Structure 1
Amino acid sequence: MLDIQNLHAYYGKSHVLHGVSFQVNPGEIVALLGRNGSGRSTTAKAIMGLVDGTGHVAWKGQEILGKKPFEIAHLGIGHVPENRDIFPKITVHQNLMLGQKGKGKGSRWSFDDMYSMFPRLKERQHTEAGVLSGGEQQMLTLCRTLMGDPDLIIIDEPTEGLAPKIVELVGEYLQKLKSRGISVLLIEQKLTIAMAISDRALVMGHGSIVFQGTPESLRADPYTRKEWLEV
C-alpha cells in the first residue's frame, strides 16, 4: 500500500533522512520508534509533501513524492501532526466538518461514530475547540482526520502529554481503525502502547532505519533497545 524506497529529506542544506526504506501494508499498524531527533517526524512530513525529499514514495503503486500535501491527502492518506493543529475559535463539531471531503458521502465514518468513540467530544460538540484539554484536542484531531475517510493514517506522537487512561483510549481507537481496514503508521516514543498494538516495529536512528521486525523480536533485542530507544 505505502512503499518507501531510499528516501532522503532535507531542511534547506541540512540532510535529515538518509535512505529510509519500509512498507505499510493494508490493515496493518506499523510503529515507527526512536528518540527525539531521529527523523521520525521528518519521515511523516516527507510522505505528506511537507519537506523536500528524494527517492521514491509510492501510494497504491502511484509515485507521490513531489505532490502537494492536499493532493496526497485527497489520495487517501491522513496525517495527525504532533502539534494537533485544531482550529481553536470554532466548535468541536465545526472542526469535524472541516475534515470531511465533499459531503462525506460513502465515508466509513460519521459524526455519530466519532461521538460514540469519544463521548467527551459529543458532550463538548458546541464548545470552542481552543478551550479543550490536551487530551480532548488530541481526540478531536484524530477524529477530524478520520472524517476525511483515509485508507492510511499517519499519527505523530498521539499520546504525548496525555493521562494514562487517555493513552489507553487512544490505543483502543487505533485498533478500531485496523478493524475497519485502515492502515496506521504510528510515530511514538512510548514503547508500551506501540508494542501492544503494532504488527511491526521500525526503529530509527540518525535519519535511518536501524531495525525492522515484530514487537516480539524487538523485545528480544536488548542491544537495539539500549542503543536506539532507551534514555
Structure 2
Amino acid sequence: MTPTLLAVQGLHAYYGKSHILQGVDVHVDEGEIVTLLGRNGVGRSTMAKTIVGMVKASGSVRFRDEEILGRRTFEIAQLGIGYVPENRDIFPALTVRENLLLGAKRNPRRATLRWTAADMYAMFPRLKEREHTPAGVLSGGEQQMLTLCRTLMGDPDLILIDEPTEGLAPKIVTLVGEYLQALKARGVSVLLIEQKLAIALDISQRVYVMGHGHIVFEGTPAELKGNAQIRKEWLEV
C-alpha cells in the first residue's frame, strides 16, 4: 500500500464570519497527482492556503503523519511542501535566473539538491533563452513556468499548485501537464487546483470535486467522467 503523504481531515476555515471550509477531508499519497476541481469561490484556494499556514483553521493537516496545522508558513515549506499561488508572485525586477536562485533550498530529508537551474532550463528551454531578462517583462505563460520552476528549486516532496493553466494558451497548458507528469516521474507528489476538467482527467490518479466548502466527489478520472450528474451540478457552467 502506498504511504499517505498529506492527510487533511475535518478542516474548517473562516474569513471573518464566512465559513469557507466546512469539514474538508482530502489526502495525497506518495508519487500521486491529485486534482481538486470546482467552480470559483467554493474554497479550493483557501484549502491550499490553509495547508501552507496562510489561513487559520481547525481540524487536522498531517504531512508524513506529522501535524502541521498551526505552524508558520516557512516551517511548513522547510518540511518539504511547495506552494505555487494563482497570482504567480514573481519578483518582476529580478532576472529569471535570480528568481530561480531565490527559490533554492535543501530538503532536510536529502543531503543534496535534486534540482538545479540547469534542470529547469532543460524542461523549459524558453527560460534559458530569457535567463538574464527581468521577470516582469515575461509573457504570462513564461511567468507561470518561472513560478513552477522556482518552487521546484526548493526541492519539495509535495507541490500545491493553484490554477496553473489560468489564462494560458492551449500549447502552454499542454506543456504544464507534461511538466507535472515529469515531476511525478521524479518522485514529487502534486495537489493540483484546477478548473479545466480535461487536464484533470488526463494526468490525475484521483480527483476531488469541491462545492460550497465540502468535498462532494472523490474518485478516479474514469469515475468522474462517467458521473454526468456530479459534472453537471458542480462543474459545468
What is the TM-score when the length of structure 2 is the normalising length?
0.96
**Partner SS state of residue 185, structure 1:** strand
Aligned pairs, number:
231
Aligned residue number for residue 53 of structure 1: 57
Q: CA deviation at 1:13?
A: 2.1
Q: CA deviation at 1:15?
A: 1.0
When the two chains are superposed, the root-mean-square deviation of aligned CA atoms in Å is 1.2
Aligned residue number for residue 221 of structure 1: 227
Q: CA deviation at 1:200?
A: 0.2
Q: Does 2:77 align with 1:69?
A: no
Q: Does 2:122 align with 1:132?
A: no
Deviations 1:154-191 (A, max 9, x none): 00000000000000000000000000011000000001
Aligned residue number for residue 46 of structure 2: 42
Measure the CA separation in 2 of the matches of 1:14 and 1:34: 18
Note the 1:86-125 alignment, pairs <5 A. Answer: 86-101=90-105, 106-125=112-131
Q: CA deviation at 1:102?
A: 5.4
* Aligned partner letter, 1:164: P
* Aligned partner letter, 1:2: L
Measure the CA separation in 2 of the matches of 1:20 and 1:102: 31
- Decide whether the 8 Å contact of 2:106 with 2:155 is kept in 1: no
Moved beyond 4 Å, runs of 4+: 102-105
* Aligned partner letter, 1:94: E
Aligned residue number for residue 152 of structure 2: 146
**Partner SS state of residue 127, structure 1:** coil
- Decide whether the 8 Å contact of 1:30 with 1:200 is kept in 2: yes
Q: CA deviation at 1:114?
A: 0.1
**Partner SS state of residue 21, structure 1:** strand
**Partner SS state of residue 160, structure 1:** coil
**Partner SS state of residue 14, structure 2:** strand
Q: CA deviation at 1:107?
A: 1.3
- Decide whether the 8 Å contact of 1:11 with 1:52 is kept in 2: no
Q: Relative to 1, partners in 2 of residues 1:176 and 1:102: Cα closer, same or farther, differing over 3 Å?
A: closer
* Aligned partner letter, 1:99: G
Measure the CA separation in 2 of the matches of 1:51 and 1:193: 28
Q: Relative to 1, partners in 2 of residues 1:170 and 1:75: Cα closer, same or farther, differing over 3 Å?
A: same
Structure 2 gaps of 5+ residues are none
Work out the percentage of aligned pairs sharing the same amino acid. 70
Aligned match for 2:208, one of 187, 202, 209: 202
Q: CA deviation at 1:12?
A: 2.0
Q: CA deviation at 1:101?
A: 1.1
Measure the CA separation in 2 of the matches of 1:71 and 1:12: 25
Measure the CA separation in 2 of the matches of 1:50 and 1:11: 12
Structure 1 gaps of 5+ residues are none
Note the 1:77-88 alignment, pairs <5 A. Answer: 77-88=81-92
Measure the CA separation in 1 of the matches of 2:106 and 2:66: 23
Q: Does 2:43 align with 1:26?
A: no
Measure the CA separation in 1 of the matches of 2:128 and 2:148: 14
What is the TM-score when the length of structure 1 is the normalising length?
0.98
Q: Does 2:189 align with 1:183?
A: yes
Measure the CA separation in 2 of the matches of 1:12 and 1:63: 25
